[in-house]
Every structure is written in structure tokens, then in C-alpha cells.
Amino acid sequence: MAILAALIKYRLHLLFAVGFSSALLGLVLLAPSFLTLLAYFWPLFLSTAFFIVSVVFFVKSSPPPFDKAGEDLLDYVTGDPDPSIVESIHSLGTEEQHPHQPIENLDADEQDPGKASTSMDDTY
């Protein structure tokens, strides 16, 4: 009776062990052998090996790029800009017009909206 009570107590564990063992045995008996898989997939394995060898060759044979633009972009994204760039932006002053500021030096013809040659109201 003690054995039956222990089996009932651990029935989920036993069912899991039996199911896992059955699945593993089925895979071993029904699955193709390793040589069959190797014979089927050898072109894939060979091309992957050639690709990895070529990547390693090109990485070792080419000189490392000297790219400061990537560092500038990284500084911009992290919010830590180069101090020389910040100084050059602040030194612009009023000499140059910012593209988002209104233009103040318009000719007399451009300031009068009534002199416009075409408008949307006239065309419809």
C-alpha cells in the first residue's frame, strides 16, 4: 500500500518521465541518422563555412576605418556634443539667418500681399 500511495503522490512526475522517455526513444528510432543529415545538408554546411572563412579573411586583411563621423553621431545621440561644435553654433550670432526664423529683409513687392499674381481664390 505504501508503494501505491507513493505512486499516486508522484503521478505527474511519473507521467512526465514516461512521456519524455517515449518521445526520446521515438526520436532515436524514427529519426534519420547523422550521416543521412550530413549527406543532405552538405552544400549548406560548405557554403556557410566558406562565408565565415571569407568574413574572417576580409576582417583581418582590411585596415580599420578611420571614421570620425560615427563618433560625432554617437555624441549627438547621447547628448554630449563636441565643445568646438557648440562654440561654433553660438558664435554664429545674428550674421547668418537661421532657416526657421522669419526673413526680415523683404523687398517692397514681396511685402504687399495684394500684388501677388495668382492666388487660390482666383483660380476657382
pLDDT digits (tens, 9 = 90+) for 71-111: 767 777 777 766 776 676 666 654 555 556 555 555 555 55
Pairwise CA distance, residues 55 & 62, whole Å = 11
Within 13 Å, how many C-alpha atoms sit on residue 91's CB side?
A: 6
Residue 7: its H or E element:
helix 2-9
Q: Is the pLDDT of residue 42 over 90?
A: yes
pLDDT band at 49 (very low <50, low <70, confident <90, very high): very high
pLDDT over 70 percentage in the chain: 60
Residue 47 CA to residue 53 CA, distance in Å, equals: 10
Q: What is the structure's pLDDT at 24?
A: 93
Residue 7: per-residue pLDDT:
81
